[in-house]
Amino acid sequence: MEIPGFRHIYSGKVRELYEPINPDFSHLVLIIATDRVSAFDHILEPEIPGKGENLTALTNFWFDYLEDKNHRSSELEVPEYLAGRGMIAKRLQMYPIECVVRGYLSGSGWLEYQESGGVCGIELPAGLQFGDRLPHPIFTPAFKAAQGDHDENISFEKTIELVGAAIAEQLRDASISIFIKASQKAARAGIILADTKFEFGNDPKTNLLTLGDEVLTPDSSRYWSKELFDQGIRNQSFDKQIIRNWLSANWDKSGTPPALPSEIVQETASQYELLKKLITSVS
């Protein structure tokens, strides 16, 4: 897609990045959230209607709510026809760390706990079950792999090796602080924030730790219904888990994945829309 005044520089699984042609704004980037959806390292067909707008709306909501410095910029305006799915952001010097925070035991953390009794070198109480709430949120970082590869869960000590002790501590403390604040907000909407991941970079203009990428969206976070959780249902989440479940039952993960049936597309779109409404409507 051609955008007047901008030059395309990168295509991700979900996002497209453009840089301003005007050199006075070379420190900025236009981020567009598409309706594309991926699972098991494949971009799937068809797209999920409204997904890009829902992800952008949630990220903007959380940026407005949180007090932490973030990469959003008002120096340029998003082209009108991209309003709702576009964002002007500062270019950051990104740290190669996925800052994962877990408040509940699920996903890869559950698998690691079953093998070792802990997650990313953090020892946890014995006897925990899938979906159990942890005594306190834990920082379980991952090393950001190249596109197409899987991120690698690492210890805090390895994080220090990668970015230094001072930055590692800032990443940990900021991530846990944001997670706690967001969890309290989500709880007022009847939603459990089970886990999430953040990405941070250094703003070269201020030399300050700055929150980047998408924030607390269903693509970067695991949200559960508190009502269903209290009923003992712990495998329901407001994200593309519906798609993963369908693919696992209908595809052997070799070759090109099958097209998603319309009912799976619509159910997934409805989950994204519902989560956005629940989160953004709470005071």
Provide the mean pLDDT of the chain.
Answer: 94
The amino acid at residue 272 is Y
Whether the pLDDT of residue 172 is over 90: the answer is: yes
The residue among 59, 109, 125, 18 whose CA lies nearest residue 272 is 59
20 contacts 28 by C-beta, under 8 angstroms: yes
Least confident of 110-119, 184-193, 230-239: 230-239
Whether the pLDDT of residue 148 is over 60: the answer is: no
Q: Give the tens place of pLDDT for each residue, 31-62.
A: 999 999 999 889 999 999 999 999 999 999 99
pTM: 0.93
Query: Rounded distance, CA 65 to CA 61, Å?
Result: 6
Confidence (pLDDT) at 146: 66
The residue among 35, 34, 50 whose CA lies nearest residue 273 is 50
List of residues 6+ apart from 277 with CB closer than 8 A:
none
Beta pairing, strands 118-119 & 142-143 = unpaired
244 contacts 40 by C-beta, under 8 angstroms: yes
Confidence (pLDDT) at 215: 97
SS3 category, 14: coil
Query: Rounded distance, CA 194 to CA 179, Å?
Result: 10
- Which domains, and CATH codes, for the chain? 6-90 (3.30.200.20), 93-241 (3.30.470.20)
Whether the pLDDT of residue 268 is over 60: the answer is: yes
Whether the pLDDT of residue 119 is over 80: the answer is: yes
